[in-house]
A and B are shown apart, each in its own frame.
Chain A
């Protein structure tokens, strides 16, 4: 399944979501809905993984989606792959301290 908004392409395989493009106010809803599907995938257990390797922009609107998802996951982990933009802004705000189930994996 490959939903697109022109700016952002989201590919999801089970609980692994791969992002290409930019997450902003206009595309964060697409990310939100795909992450909700990823969270509910299978028996709704285990990690949800987002691959940011091909992401070229994410700002606070996208970070809000990550926080909502991490909160929704409870004890399950939200693993952020690919560093770059996402790792930078997540670290800048210290989100992994406040939401220990957000894990930045380089």
Chain B
């Protein structure tokens, strides 16, 4: 879905219509309960302020899908009121900051009206990811993670996505698995007291592409892809697909 914008009169009576607009977009985008709620709250808080803003006659709401996020723009032709007016504003902004990953405000001035609020809200529902067909022939993926529980859940997810996953929890076992090299390795660099870093280098000498996952170590130079931990399974999947897809 591409960006969608709709304009509403800047009156409190528009708020239910604005919510209906956002709900229908959330539905079309396949956002689930918590994601739909967050997006709706973020737009509503910004729109609350817009319809009460001095000089505002119209409010625009724009929805733009992003990678695992929605970028929401709420704009009006009014003048931003710093701290004045009702005490509702700080609470609404706090809610907005609580929900959105990033918030950007262009305050309308008396000499140059027009207030724009942009909020990036992260969403975890599947809809943002195009459903690619499962890879042919179930490529073998070696997953090296000292944390057995997070490893098991990621392994189960990747299995369901069509990969043949071998999970090992030590670098020793990972080294043994290189006897028949997998198509790709996902390595938590802190496995076996940081030995994962060494293993990543070894795996690459075997021609095995490596997705490095780490909580503390920026590892862009050690691997073919790097994800900070905790990494959302969809991000890991995206990196795996990216590295295993044939070059165009």
Contacts and interface: CB of A to CB of B under 8 A. Distances in A.
Interface centre among B51, B98, B99, by most chain A C-beta atoms within 10 angstroms, is B98
A60 B95 contact: yes
B98 to A, nearest CB: 5
Nearest to A61: B88
Contacts of B48: 24-25, 59-61
Interface string B37-48: 100110011001
B130 interface: no
A59 B95 contact: yes
B12 A25 contact: yes
B136 interface: no
A89 B40 CA distance: 12
Contacts of A61: 48, 88, 92
B98 A26 contact: no
A26 B44 contact: no
Given A59-B45, A60-B45, A64-B87, A24 B15 contact: yes
A88 interface: yes
Contact of B99 (A25, A26, A57, A92): A92
Interface size class of B (residues with CB under 8 A): 20 to 34
Interface in A19-68: 22, 24-26, 57, 59-61, 63-64
B91 interface: yes
A24 B40 CA distance: 12
B84 interface: no
Contacts of B95: 59-60, 63, 89, 92-93
B204 interface: no
A97 interface: no
A71 to B, nearest CB: 12
A72 interface: no
A38 B191 CA distance: 59
B123 to A, nearest CB: 16
Interface in A65-90: 85, 88-89
A26 B15 CA distance: 8
Interface of A: 7, 22, 24-26, 57, 59-61, 63-64, 85, 88-89, 92-93
Interface of B: 12-13, 15-16, 19, 37, 40-41, 44-45, 48, 51-52, 87-88, 91-92, 94-95, 98-99
Given A24-B44, A85-B37, A89-B95, 5 more contacts: A24-B12, A24-B48, A25-B12, A60-B91, A60-B94
Sorted nearest first, the 10 A-B pairs with minimum C-beta distance are A60-B92, A60-B91, A25-B12, A92-B98, A59-B44, A26-B12, A24-B15, A60-B95, A64-B88, A60-B88
